[in-house]
Amino acid sequence: MEPISIGIIGGSGLYAMEALTDRSEIQLTTPFGDPSDAVIVGNLAGQRVAFLPRHGRGHRFTPSEVPYRANIHALKQLEVRFILGVSAVGSLREELVPGHLVIPDQAIDRTKGVRPATFFGEGVVAHVAFGEPVCPHLSALVSKAAHAASNTTVHDGGTYCCMEGPQFSTKAESELYRSWGCSIIGMTLLPEAKLAREAEIAYANLSLVTDYDCWHPDHDNVTAAMVVETINRNVAAAQNTIAALIPLIDPAAVYPAHSALAHAVMTAPESIPA
């Protein structure tokens, strides 16, 4: 099969793109189990693109249950070199209004250690650099696409606080994350971005703001219904951004993320099992 360079991991409410033509479904399996769903492959803006709904069709996996390793492994099997992860997030800043898009450039990990978060271990030790948790080069293209095509306000940069969930935050937690300088809060950027880095895939995130979490005195506390309703009203902004992004990606581009393991593996080569 021809390699597919670009993968999209769709968040809540973004199960597939209507604009995707000549679709086929590929059922893959991996040493880490099955991915969230069949990978949908199709043509978008002149390129073959692989699309994977993060929570499975019908939204079957909680953020803690998403098989992140299988998802990244499955896209790697297709030879994907660029992934855009799309997420629904709460806002921790007045100026990040529900309906806006954010392209975060930093992250804080507030997951609780229950999600397998590395491909390494069991005899192979590797520590990838993660100072830049998303690929700045791919993020710049996402920004260009979002500004050109989304018809909403786009914020470049910001810190994504990734919490475990599935419950939303308490007010005290929400204020804590605000005091840490976080911009948005969601449940899925990590370990997805870490695993993509370990797989030497350039990864960027496009976050759709759906609510003000629970810190804002003038807005109701977030509910799942509020998140779904805002996604449904604004899903076109994400879809238009994705469609505009594809032609901006040079499938042959080489970014630092593509050699993330060059200085990361500590295990002596002779001790790595064949």
Residue number with CB closer to ligand ADE (227 or 260): 227
In the residue annotation, 213 being an active-site residue is answered as: yes
Q: By C-alpha distance, which of 107, 70, 258, 262 is closest to 189? A: 107
- Residue 90's DSSP bridge partners are 185, 211
Is residue 192 within the footprint of ligand ADE (CB under 6 A)?
no
Residue number with CB closer to ligand ADE (25 or 94): 94
Q: By C-alpha distance, which of 49, 31, 238, 47 is closest to 39? A: 49
Is residue 71 within the footprint of ligand ADE (CB under 6 A)?
no
Is residue 213 within the footprint of ligand ADE (CB under 6 A)?
yes
In the residue annotation, 220 being an active-site residue is answered as: no
How many residues bind ligand ADE, per CB under 6 A?
13
Residue number with CB closer to ligand ADE (24 or 167): 167
Catalytic residue among 37, 105, 109, 213: 213
Name the residue type at position 105: D
**Residue of the chain from 53, 85, 90, 98 that contacts ligand ADE (CB under 6 A):** 90
Q: What gap in Å lies between CA 208 and CA 153, rounded to an integer?
A: 11
Residue number with CB closer to ligand ADE (174 or 239): 174
Q: By C-alpha distance, which of 89, 88, 104, 91 is closest to 215? A: 91
Is residue 210 within the footprint of ligand ADE (CB under 6 A)?
yes
**Residue of the chain from 88, 128, 141, 204 that contacts ligand ADE (CB under 6 A):** 88
Minimum distance between the CB of residue 64 and ligand ADE, rounded to whole angstroms? 12
Is residue 211 within the footprint of ligand ADE (CB under 6 A)?
yes
CB 212 within 8 A of CB 99: no
Is residue 227 within the footprint of ligand ADE (CB under 6 A)?
yes
Q: By C-alpha distance, which of 9, 17, 1, 11 is closest to 35? A: 9
- 124-152 burial, b if ≥16 CB within 10 A, otherwise e? eebebeeebbbbebbbebbbbbbbebbeb
237-266: which residues touch ligand ADE (CB under 6 A)? none
Q: What gap in Å lies between CA 208 and CA 195, rounded to an integer?
A: 22
Q: Using CB under 6 A as the criterion, which residues of the chain lie in contact with ligand ADE when the complex forms?
A: 88-90, 163, 168, 185-187, 210-211, 213, 222, 227
